[in-house]
Amino acid sequence: MHISDIGEHALIERIRARVPDAPAWVIAGIGDDAAVIAPERGCVDVVTTDSLVEDVHFRRAWTSMRDVGYKALAVNVSDLAAMGAEPRAATLSLALPASLAVTDFDELIDGFLELARAVRVQLVGGNLTKSPGPVVIDVTLIGSARRRRLMMRSGGKPGHLLYVTGTVGGAARTLEAQRSEGPTVQGSRPPVRLRTGLQVSRNKVAMACVDVSDGLADAVAQLAKASGTGAELNADLVPRAPGATIEQALYGGEDYELLFAVPKRWRGRFERIAGRDVTVTAVGELIAPRDLWVTRDGTRAPLGAGFSHF
Amino acid sequence: MHISDIGEHALIERIRARVPDAPAWVIAGIGDDAAVIAPERGCVDVVTTDSLVEDVHFRRAWTSMRDVGYKALAVNVSDLAAMGAEPRAATLSLALPASLAVTDFDELIDGFLELARAVRVQLVGGNLTKSPGPVVIDVTLIGSARRRRLMMRSGGKPGHLLYVTGTVGGAARTLEAQRSEGPTVQGSRPPVRLRTGLQVSRNKVAMACVDVSDGLADAVAQLAKASGTGAELNADLVPRAPGATIEQALYGGEDYELLFAVPKRWRGRFERIAGRDVTVTAVGELIAPRDLWVTRDGTRAPLGAGFSHF
């Protein structure tokens, strides 16, 4: 059965039936012209949007629609984690081919809602439209944070240590394996570093943060640029996912780890607090001259450019 | 020159250069992992999302990219107008073919920002990704309202009069003309009934409102369903756009007018306040039995179903 067989209203009903009861701060959820949310008292709103496009960010042959739905929310949670903001409400906008199977539609929603439940995000609205092209999933995520606890990209200073969570290069390694070996290689879900981002911001043990979505090299460049500094990255220290090359670790993208800038005197507290849920590794340092360097096998060279989506 | 020739960072810079300076309530705009907004004091957040898909909602041969960008925001403003909420901040998510001309990209952004300026909306973030398929434009719009002034769809009661702003059927008439005569027929921009929505909600002269995006018949059905009532629509009273048939007026969609439910004793005040900027016309009434009727040339018949996006 295709989604065009059951129509828009029935699809919305299928979503609504799966969404848990809204908490009290949701004044109007799915079904009106717009959703209505009471802001968190004493907090600012933090808003991010990110999308997944079929055959760009995923292939249906390689990834289950459940994992696609999960990832569509995960990449947005990653952005709020990097700000130190608690996610609260999401909208989900889907452009779908009329031939999509209803079971695939359900799987997509189930994967999205699985993560939503885990991170306590309420789906409050969205949009459904047909498309002659690929599946496009757009998620906007709204969270809250106390203003003084926000971690901006621009908070870095020369001398701050750069720490990365988990390992990098794994997503790129999997993608290359899929390209050469086909759909027998299962994709994996991105990590969700929300707890780490929130703990670090609550305890004020980092001055800046960015999520590693387009490769570690790009994340370092973005953080340094926003902070008005340069950076040195020590490639020999970068924690690589099993089987990942150093190129994949630096330039691969889609890792969704967090990169923090930490004043040296906070090093011990940072490692204790951030290290509760995930390993954290010092991989470099911010420097005053606005240049980007990478040291590899003891040799220092300019840090290459990151990933471009075009 | 195509957008793939200049790359993602340059495209983001082209947007950023066009966005006016942010007001003080925007704590972080374009450029960080997420945008940060101070909520309006004493207000709730009102959130909507809507998208335009090439060859579904527009054709590049028939519509300038400037009008497409304008419309992408306008359809979202319409949703907030129907809630009685003041729009504040928008995110813009674009899935674009790599072959799109940079001039088309600029036009799209210019059209979006033209309306943003007019309704005082700040573009605070977004996402850019390539797509192998059609242009997909997703906008999320966040506004604010005093909770007690919100106009929900569910506020209607039997006996309330149904009023529509402006005229309906014009968008469907234009679309049919374009289908038969081709791109010589120029599309028009949707109306923006924001001021009317805000005036009506501030003065509390309507109990419910919905925007007419999928046809007047669908809007009447949605409002009645949410309110737990039925409705009678008098087709002979429906204000049609020049040249539009009654079918186009009832079922055509894309009109972006507002439909209000107004207690009879507020009729005079409603007409005076809503009528300041646009003509308003009483076209029917909510009724207690949960049936939907349309009277046409004096004959009463069940009101047919509205538009489905699949």
Predicted local distance difference test score (pLDDT) of residue A31 = 86
Task: Kindly report, residue by residue over B49-59, the tens digit of the pLDDT.
Answer: 999 999 999 99
Inter-chain residue contact B51 with A152, CB threshold 8 Å: no
Chain A CB contacts of B9 under 8 Å are 308
Among candidates A33, A125, A136 on the partner chain, residue whose Cβ is nearest the Cβ of B136? A136
Inter-chain residue contact B226 with A308, CB threshold 8 Å: no
Chain B CB contacts of A130 under 8 Å are 53, 56, 309-310
> Could you give the CA distance from residue A38 to residue B146 in angstroms, rounded to a whole number?
10
Chain A CB contacts of B27 under 8 Å are 44, 147, 150
Note whether A140 contacts B: Cβ–Cβ < 8 A: yes
Residue B143 scores a pLDDT above 90:
yes
Task: Kindly report, residue by residue over B194-249, the tens digit of the pLDDT.
Answer: 999 999 999 999 999 999 999 999 999 999 999 999 999 999 999 999 999 999 99
Chain A CB contacts of B89 under 8 Å are 47
Confidence of residue A298 (pLDDT cuts 50, 70, 90): confident
Residue percentage of chain B with pLDDT more than 70 = 96
Residue of B33, B136, B150, B212 best to disrupt the A interface, most CBs of A under 10 A: B33
**Rounded mean pLDDT of A143-156?**
97
**Rounded mean pLDDT of A174-197?**
86
Residue A60 DSSP symbol: T
Q: What is the mean pLDDT of chain A?
A: 95
Our CA angle for A26, A28, A32, nearest 5°, is: 155
Task: Kindly report, residue by residue over A270-295, the tens digit of the pLDDT.
Answer: 999 999 999 999 999 999 999 999 99
Distance to chain B for A94, nearest Cα, Å: 9
Residue A114 scores a pLDDT above 60:
yes
Task: Kindly report, residue by residue over B116-141, the tens digit of the pLDDT.
Answer: 999 999 999 999 999 999 999 999 99
Report the chain B residue with the minimal C-alpha distance to residue A58.
Answer: B131
Task: Kindly report, residue by residue over B160-178, the tens digit of the pLDDT.
Answer: 999 999 999 999 999 888 8
HSE-up of residue A78 (Cα within 13 Å, Cβ side): 24
Inter-chain residue contact B53 with A28, CB threshold 8 Å: no
Query: Coil, strand, or helix at residue B235?
Result: helix
Inter-chain residue contact A36 with B83, CB threshold 8 Å: yes
Residue type, B295: T
Chain A CB contacts of B136 under 8 Å are 95, 131, 133, 136, 138
Closest CA to B31 of A225, A75, A148: A225
Polymer length in residues for chain B: 310
Q: What is the mean pLDDT of chain B?
A: 95
Q: Is B150 exposed, middle or buried (0-12, 13-18, 19+ CB in 10 A)?
A: buried
Joined tokens for residue B138:
């997703």
Residue at token pair 């028009």: B188
Inter-chain residue contact B56 with A132, CB threshold 8 Å: yes
Residue A183 scores a pLDDT above 80:
no
Predicted local distance difference test score (pLDDT) of residue A305 = 61
- Taking a C-beta distance cutoff of 8 angstroms, is the pair A257, A210 a contact? no
Residue A306 scores a pLDDT above 70:
no
Residue B56's CB is within 10 A of a number of other CB atoms, namely 17
- Helix ranges (H only) for chain A are 3-18, 65-83, 102-118, 170-181, 194-202, 216-227, 246-251, 267-274
Taking one residue from A and the other from B, the number of pairs with CB-CB distance under 8 angstroms is 237
Closest CA to A133 of B92, B65, B104, B53: B53
Please state the pTM of the whole predicted model: 0.96
**Rounded mean pLDDT of B36-65?**
95
Residue of A12, A33, A138 best to disrupt the B interface, most CBs of B under 10 A: A33
CA distances from B251 to B53, B214, B281 (A): 20, 7, 18
Residue B186 scores a pLDDT above 80:
no
Residue B127 φ then ψ, to 5°? -155, 145
Residue A213 scores a pLDDT above 80:
yes
Inter-chain residue contact B310 with A37, CB threshold 8 Å: no
Q: Please report the sign of the dihedral spanned by the C-alpha atoms of residue A282, residue A288, residue A294, residue A296.
A: negative
Our CA angle for B212, B92, B63, nearest 5°, is: 60
Interface predicted TM-score of the whole assembly (ipTM), two decimals? 0.95
Confidence of residue B309 (pLDDT cuts 50, 70, 90): low
